[in-house]
Structure 1
Amino acid sequence: MEDSSGALLGANSNSGPSTNSQVTSGTNDVNEEQLSYDQDGIQENALLYQAPVNGLTVVKASIFIVGSICGGGVLAIPQAVVDCGVIGPIVVVACGIISAFTGYILGECWTVVKSRHRHTEDGDQGVTEPYPTIAFEAGRKPARIATRICIDVTLFGGGTVFLLLIAGNISQLIHDLSPDHKDFSLCYLMPIVTAVLTPITWRATPKEFWQAAAVAAATSILAAIFVLACIISAIPENPSPHHSPPTPSGFFSAFGTILFAFGGASCFPTIQVDMRAPQKFPIAAIVGICVVMSVYLMVGIPGYVIIGDKMQPNVISAIPAGWMSYTVNFLITFHLMMAFVIIMNPVAQEIEGMLHVNRFGPKRVIIRTLLSASSMFVGVTIPHFNVILSLLGGSTIACTNFIFPPLYYYLLSRQVHPPSHIRDDESPSEWNQINISLPRKVILLIIMFIGIVGGVISTYFSVASLVDGESGFTVPCYVNASVGNPSDG
């Protein structure tokens, strides 16, 4: 989770893959007349770039990364650590380090791509989709299409996870606050939450969002502190916590969850484009990921040690009810509501661009309403956010975080002269050649191997858990509306 949570907040915060409306990035404007698209509605002339004068600083970019990744991960990481067993914290640290490194690699990729194209230095137009642009320059059209599909699926799936978490948090709050602890299933809340949030998505076109990212980062970190306090307060109720040995299914599903929790790589190039000094983005990526990793360890390690096997997929269901847990619920739910509105925007804009919907009106309302309804339908079909989260983590996020960055970096290093699609008047006077040392090549291969093997196995076990019922999934909401009751956890 660009929450990353994936993935997720920052990937959309600037503009996302806009193909239909004016997009502001710093001080740069892009008009539809200035862009061209191929037959698939994919932007052809994406490499038109100038660093925004009033762009993000390193500190602001780091805050943006924290705000875009943290969120849903705070709720899901404790269970993932428990499922991984005693090495759970090591897995979190390893995934965090790899995410920081791939963020660094993506930053280098964009710097190289920008330097290899004269019009990226001298142009006055903004880049609306930098990650697919990197993919195109590295692997041409197939790589760009694969990258965009992964990003769009991640964003759409992330929106579904957010809807489930919002509905689940509200359901848990109703259960805790009602005098006789009545259940109000998330299956009933999903349509209500979707109906409330959908009108907000109709006009949402995020542009300058570092302040929103700061609020998102603050709410996530504050919620994590309250989660830690709640877990510590649960010590009297768990004098001798039990820790079962990890199973292959539980471990690799948890691996997918952890990948989702660090799934912000798809937003990294977008943040870099909006920086005042884009070449300093690797510093921001490392700082941001380290903060996120620290937050996850702050809730993951105590959750494993103190609560153990009593942990739930959503940590709110496992901590004692009280004003601190209610505060956590409110902070995270507020964060997720903002994130849902933002995360669905790039997908909506891409669909609108393909259908040539250029302004607010009935067509935009219908498209965005149907998009939200589709996300809700997936949620009520699989009313367990942890299953969707693991599926995304092991598939699309494994690609955007672990596989694509090393692959594209290597492919760019293989280019020893300007590709044939670059005109003579666009080629640089000096070709920026990437020379990869043998140790770095080994590191890139190891990361890709972990992403491919770990992602495939994680996806397999996530699907298998649906089939054999190990995930707790029984039937969709429209078959049995009580499957999402808090008392079922």
Structure 2
Amino acid sequence: MAPDAKVPLLEGRGSGATPAQTLGNIVVSIVGTGVLGLPYAFRTAGWLAGALGVAGAGAATFYCMLLLVKTEEEESGRVQETEHGHHGGANYTYGDLGERCFGPTGRYFTESIIILCQTGGTVAYLVFIGQNISSVLPAVSPATVVLAFLLPAQVALSFVRSLSALAPFSLLADACTVLAVAAVVKEYVRLLVERGEQPFEGRSAFAGLWGVPFACGVAVFCFEGFCLTLALEASMADRGRFRSVLLQAIAGVTVVYVGFGVCGYLAYGDATRDIVTLNLPSNWSTAAVKVVLCVALALTFAVMMHPIHEIVEARLFGPDGWVRRRCRGGGIVERAALHLSRVAVVAALAAIACFVPAFGEFAAFVGSTVCALLSFVLPAMFHLRVVGPTAGPWVRAVDYFFLLSGLVFAGHGMYTVLSPQ
């Protein structure tokens, strides 16, 4: 999801969004394709360890979202009181807050992390599409062939600059994700009835210490939309109710994630694939679910790309941009360069996706590195910077816990990828 875009489900009318609308918007911004990798994470960690990891990730995400909102409120009130003599309600983006806390370097670093998260999400989309289409149509295997066929369509969609025109596809993708989850649960019930055995028989509750960080990384990846926190809070008519609405959304999504992860692992055991839809039987209904889901994600890809294009184009075509300083041909040349930059970015991400070996490992890596920095490290840093000097020792201790834990988590994710297997 674009960090500064309107959330596509329901927009507030009049003076702002209602609690019900905000609840729907939060769910849409959080739920993504990562949920279909949860059963594999539970297989790696064990069903109990995986459940605890997802629950912990949900609780940590909720707390750090509140940290971000509290920091924005404190900084906004301080600025309004200093400049205008009263408390106001300035609305900051994540990048704005980074600049308020740490100057231009803070903005550049925050926006860089957002772009890396979006890049990870878009590459994961492409890997997901490639693997699922290859499973339905073996004639176009491997996944790199699928991505080659898909590239022209993604390039064409990247030329659509209106998020409002693309937003309905996000709803379609979420609806298709729900459909895929329902298909997996149905298959689980069928397998359980056929086996006629205890559901937890032969399934590990705790599969080993090293599987826990993997499951936590996938869980963090599943809680998408962190950079939309400030926009969601600002969109409410009664902003004081945001905390309770956020709690309802995070708690509900966490329960669904845990239930789905456990069900998927219990259904397929050690045969659980990194994308659980690949475990579904080969029939026309399963193929239809996979194809519709992939089409929806392919259309949503352009929404995920929006913040990446925005940052790249600001650097290239802004008032001091590289192209603007060197371009002497007027609007036509600039427009051609703009389209060329979008083609290059999409092609680069498709090339990266061709070298990603597995969806599950990649989701865990993105979740445990850049998503951990965005979701845990930066909110704790901002809160310590703005509120820390006047906060109590317990509050500061919790901030430092999230700051250090997020850094350790990110370091472990990098080590896991870079260490020889």
1:380-399 → structure 2 map (5 Å cutoff): 380-399=354-373
Residue matched to 1:44: none
Residue matched to 1:95: 57
Over 3 Å counting, the alpha-carbon distance change for 1:95 and 1:282 in structure 2 is same
Counterpart check, 1:161 vs 2:107:
no
Residue matched to 1:268: 229
Please state which structure has a larger fraction of its residues in helix: 2
Q: Within 2, Cα distance between the matches of 1:120 and 1:241?
A: 66
The equivalent position to 1:152 in structure 2, one of 104, 112, 115, is 115
Asked if the contact 2:144–2:354 (Cα under 8 Å) also holds between the matched residues in 1, the reply is yes
The equivalent position to 1:198 in structure 2, one of 155, 167, 176, is 155
Aligned to 1:234, the other structure's residue is in SS state helix
Q: Within 1, Cα distance between the matches of 2:33 and 2:252?
A: 15
Asked if the contact 1:111–1:278 (Cα under 8 Å) also holds between the matched residues in 2, the reply is no
Counterpart check, 1:287 vs 2:287:
no
Counterpart check, 1:14 vs 2:14:
no
Over 3 Å counting, the alpha-carbon distance change for 1:396 and 1:228 in structure 2 is same
Asked if the contact 2:158–2:302 (Cα under 8 Å) also holds between the matched residues in 1, the reply is yes
Residue matched to 1:314: 275
Q: Within 2, Cα distance between the matches of 1:405 and 1:113?
A: 13
**What code does the residue aligned with 1:145 have?**
Y
Asked if the contact 2:73–2:89 (Cα under 8 Å) also holds between the matched residues in 1, the reply is no
Q: Within 2, Cα distance between the matches of 1:443 and 1:222?
A: 39
In the TM superposition, what is the alpha-carbon distance from 1:394 to its structure 2 partner?
Answer: 1.5
1:224-243 → structure 2 map (5 Å cutoff): 224-235=181-192, 236=194, 241-243=202-204
In the TM superposition, what is the alpha-carbon distance from 1:396 to its structure 2 partner?
Answer: 0.9
The equivalent position to 2:398 in structure 1, one of 431, 443, 450, is 443
Over 3 Å counting, the alpha-carbon distance change for 1:185 and 1:407 in structure 2 is same
Counterpart check, 1:142 vs 2:134:
no
1:236-255 → structure 2 map (5 Å cutoff): 236=194, 241-243=202-204, 246-255=207-216
**What code does the residue aligned with 1:373 have?**
A
Task: Return 5+ residue gaps in structure 1 as ranges.
Answer: 1-8, 16-25, 28-51, 176-181, 416-434, 469-489
The equivalent position to 2:351 in structure 1, one of 370, 373, 377, is 377
**What code does the residue aligned with 2:38 have?**
I
Asked if the contact 2:127–2:356 (Cα under 8 Å) also holds between the matched residues in 1, the reply is no
Q: Within 1, Cα distance between the matches of 2:282 and 2:373?
A: 38
Q: Within 2, Cα distance between the matches of 1:257 and 1:87?
A: 13
Q: Within 2, Cα distance between the matches of 1:210 and 1:126?
A: 26
Counterpart check, 1:114 vs 2:76:
yes
Residue matched to 2:414: 459
Deviations 1:392-431 (A, max 9, x none): 111111111111112211211146xxxxxxxxxxxxxxxx
**Could you state the TM-score of these two structures normalised by the residue count of structure 1?**
0.73
Asked if the contact 2:49–2:205 (Cα under 8 Å) also holds between the matched residues in 1, the reply is no
Asked if the contact 2:95–2:111 (Cα under 8 Å) also holds between the matched residues in 1, the reply is yes
In the TM superposition, what is the alpha-carbon distance from 1:10 to its structure 2 partner?
Answer: 5.3
Over 3 Å counting, the alpha-carbon distance change for 1:241 and 1:438 in structure 2 is same
Residue matched to 2:180: 223
Q: Within 2, Cα distance between the matches of 1:54 and 1:212?
A: 26
Asked if the contact 2:42–2:215 (Cα under 8 Å) also holds between the matched residues in 1, the reply is yes
Residue matched to 1:41: none
Q: Within 2, Cα distance between the matches of 1:95 and 1:437?
A: 25
Deviations 1:49-102 (A, max 9, x none): xxx955333322222221122121221111112211131101101101111111
Deviations 1:250-302 (A, max 9, x none): 43233222211114212212333333344433333222222321221221011
Q: Within 2, Cα distance between the matches of 1:414 and 1:345?
A: 34
Over 3 Å counting, the alpha-carbon distance change for 1:168 and 1:246 in structure 2 is same
Over 3 Å counting, the alpha-carbon distance change for 1:368 and 1:101 in structure 2 is same
Deviations 1:152-177 (A, max 9, x none): 111112111111111212112224xx
Residue matched to 1:348: 309
Deviations 1:298-329 (A, max 9, x none): 21011222322111100011232335533542
Deviations 1:218-240 (A, max 9, x none): 44334322221122223337966
- The percentage of aligned residue pairs carrying the same residue is 18
Residue matched to 1:171: 134
Aligned to 1:275, the other structure's residue is in SS state coil
Task: Return 5+ residue gaps in structure 2 as ranges.
Answer: 320-330
Asked if the contact 1:227–1:325 (Cα under 8 Å) also holds between the matched residues in 2, the reply is no
Deviations 1:95-144 (A, max 9, x none): 0111111112212222223222337999x9996x7001112222223322
Q: Within 1, Cα distance between the matches of 2:351 and 2:303?
A: 19
Q: Within 1, Cα distance between the matches of 2:184 and 2:40?
A: 13
Over 3 Å counting, the alpha-carbon distance change for 1:263 and 1:214 in structure 2 is closer
Q: Which moved more, 1:140-149 or 1:151-160?
A: 140-149
Asked if the contact 1:107–1:269 (Cα under 8 Å) also holds between the matched residues in 2, the reply is yes
Cα RMSD after superposing both structures? 3.2
The aligned length equals 398
Q: Within 2, Cα distance between the matches of 1:316 and 1:167?
A: 13
**What code does the residue aligned with 2:152 have?**
A
Asked if the contact 1:256–1:390 (Cα under 8 Å) also holds between the matched residues in 2, the reply is yes
Aligned to 2:365, the other structure's residue is in SS state helix
Q: Within 2, Cα distance between the matches of 1:225 and 1:458?
A: 31
Residue matched to 1:299: 260
Asked if the contact 1:101–1:286 (Cα under 8 Å) also holds between the matched residues in 2, the reply is no
In the TM superposition, what is the alpha-carbon distance from 1:243 to its structure 2 partner?
Answer: 3.8
Over 3 Å counting, the alpha-carbon distance change for 1:285 and 1:194 in structure 2 is farther
In the TM superposition, what is the alpha-carbon distance from 1:444 to its structure 2 partner?
Answer: 2.6
Over 3 Å counting, the alpha-carbon distance change for 1:199 and 1:264 in structure 2 is same
Q: Within 1, Cα distance between the matches of 2:235 and 2:295?
A: 26
Counterpart check, 1:187 vs 2:141:
no
